[in-house]
Structure 1
Amino acid sequence: MSVLLRVHDLAVSYGHIEAVKGINFHLNSGEITALVGANGAGKSTTLLALSGLLRATRGTIEFDGQDISRLPAHQIVRHGVVQVAEGRAILTTLTVAENLALGAYTRDDKAAIAATLAEVYEIFPRLKDRAGQFAGNLSGGEQQMLAIGRALMAKPKLLLLDEPSMGLAPLMVQEIFRTLVEINRKGLTILLVEQNVRQALKIARHGYVIETGKIVLADSGANLLANPEVEAAYLGG
């Protein structure tokens, strides 16, 4: 299994506060990897650094054999790293179709974009049904589908997901996670940041547990689920 992303000694600070404290991890191509931990542990900060929205204070981020540590966010998207932000960040006054079109802004081939749109509508039939509706009129679950669909329109090699289950009803959470497995089966590598630790580790091949800016455990998703420390801290054991 080839390594798609390798992070070495990554540190990120907000002013004088170091939120991520020199972490190391890697993602294998074609796998789902989960980064889990309590609120404020440094999960979202890590994603923001990977996508170029926060500048690392030290360390390297190597993606697909290239150092992307100092690239601006729009260039990182062009390399194939696309993030679905916490809270979805869809444009509520645009239609579903317009939101999806924005996801393809880095691409020029109209036929290829149309083919990707057809794939997104196949994955999320509800988005096709609501293509002409304003995104602000969608349910929370449908907005999450739209946020993921918009990211897929960029044809990413790596999808970064920040708390996709946040604020969703349990049945919708199950549907979103099933869809992530389906997308992964098509070959897309996924890094999943989640407070819903049980759900995340169920679908992840590998997982990392982060606490106060440091990775404290790394193992397969199944082993982490069965780990008494993880169970006691995150699974209500």
Structure 2
Amino acid sequence: MSAILQVTDLSVAYGQIEAVKGIDLALNEGEITALVGANGAGKSTALLAISGLLKATRGQVLFDGTDLTTLAPHQIVGRGVVQVAEGRAILTTLTVSENLALGTYARKDKSGITSDLDWVYTLFPVLKNRRDGLAGNLSGGEQQMLAIGRALMAKPRVLLLDEPSMGLAPLMVQEIFRILKEINKTGLTILLVEQNVRQALRIAQRGYVLETGKVVLTGSGQDLLDDPKVVEAYLGG
């Protein structure tokens, strides 16, 4: 299995404090990779560095032979690496369809945009039903669906998701993870950052456990679910 995105010795600091300390990650094409760990482990920081929203202090993020750490965030999106932000970051005063249209700002293929919009509305029927309503009137779960839909409208090759289950009711969490599996079946590569360790590892082919900025365990999603250290630390073992 070939890695579509390779992170090598990635470090990120906030002033003098190193939040990510030389991590290595490989995302295999067409797989879901989970990056899990406790709050404050450095997961979101790593994701922000991959998408160019934070500057790495050292290391490489190779995608299609290009080091993404040398590019601006909009250039990284243009290459096909697209992030769904923690907290959703939708524009509440715009309609659902206007939010989705924002995802297409770098695209010129009108017929592709139309078919992708149809696909997003198939994945998230609630968005189709409420496409002319304000995004601010959606529930938290529906806003998360909108944030994912908007990212899909950018036609990503790698989708980065930062805590998609945060603040959602258990039934909505199940639904979001079910939809992520559906999206992955189309061949889209996903990097999933999650505090909900059990749910994330259940759908991931590969997982990395981050503690205080370092990768401490790696393996298949199932192997990590079965690992006594993971069970004890994260699954209420």
- Give the TM interval when normalised to the shorter protein: over 0.9
Letter in 1 for 2:86: E
Alignment of 1:219 onto 2:219: yes
Query: 1:18 aligns to what?
Result: 18
Given that 1:55 and 1:70 are in contact with CA atoms closer than 8 Å, whether structure 2 keeps it comes out as no
How far did residue 109 of structure 1 move? 1.7
Tell me how far apart the structure 1 counterparts of residues 76 and 192 of structure 2 sit (CA, whole Å).
18
Alignment of 1:53 onto 2:39: no
Query: 1:29 aligns to what?
Result: 29
Runs of 4+ in 1 over 2 A off after TM superposition: none
Query: 1:73 aligns to what?
Result: 73
Alignment of 1:198 onto 2:185: no
Letter in 1 for 2:66: Q
- Secondary structure of the corresponding residue to residue 184 of structure 2: helix
Query: 1:43 aligns to what?
Result: 43
Query: 2:139 aligns to what?
Result: 139
The alignment-based identity, stated in percent, is 73
State the superposition RMSD in angstroms: 0.5
Given that 1:4 and 1:65 are in contact with CA atoms closer than 8 Å, whether structure 2 keeps it comes out as no
Letter in 2 for 1:178: R
Query: 1:89 aligns to what?
Result: 89
Letter in 2 for 1:141: G
**TM-score relative to the length of structure 1:** 0.99
Once the two structures are superposed, residues 66-111 of structure 1 have per-residue CA deviations (whole angstroms, 9 ceiling, x without a partner) of 2211100000000000000000000000000000000111101222
How far did residue 161 of structure 1 move? 0.2
Given that 1:84 and 1:162 are in contact with CA atoms closer than 8 Å, whether structure 2 keeps it comes out as yes
The 10-residue stretch of structure 1 (192-201 or 112-121) with the greater mean CA deviation from structure 2: 112-121
How far did residue 20 of structure 1 move? 0.3
Tell me how far apart the structure 2 counterparts of residues 236 and 108 of structure 1 sit (CA, whole Å).
49
Query: 2:209 aligns to what?
Result: 209
Letter in 2 for 1:200: A
Letter in 1 for 2:144: Q
Tell me how far apart the structure 2 counterparts of residues 112 and 181 of structure 1 sit (CA, whole Å).
22
Query: 2:151 aligns to what?
Result: 151
Query: 1:120 aligns to what?
Result: 120
Letter in 2 for 1:45: T
Aligned residue pairs: how many? Answer: 237
Once the two structures are superposed, residues 42-88 of structure 1 have per-residue CA deviations (whole angstroms, 9 ceiling, x without a partner) of 00000000000001000011012222111000000000000000000
Tell me how far apart the structure 2 counterparts of residues 84 and 24 of structure 1 sit (CA, whole Å).
22
Once the two structures are superposed, residues 7-39 of structure 1 have per-residue CA deviations (whole angstroms, 9 ceiling, x without a partner) of 110000001110000011100000000000000
Tell me how far apart the structure 1 counterparts of residues 63 and 139 of structure 2 sit (CA, whole Å).
35
Query: 1:175 aligns to what?
Result: 175
Query: 2:2 aligns to what?
Result: 2
How far did residue 115 of structure 1 move? 1.1
Letter in 2 for 1:130: R
Tell me how far apart the structure 1 counterparts of residues 83 and 230 of structure 2 sit (CA, whole Å).
26
Tell me how far apart the structure 2 counterparts of residues 110 and 220 of structure 1 sit (CA, whole Å).
39
Given that 1:7 and 1:25 are in contact with CA atoms closer than 8 Å, whether structure 2 keeps it comes out as yes
Gapped regions of structure 2 (runs ≥ 5): none
Once the two structures are superposed, residues 150-178 of structure 1 have per-residue CA deviations (whole angstroms, 9 ceiling, x without a partner) of 00000000000000000000000000000
Alignment of 1:62 onto 2:62: yes
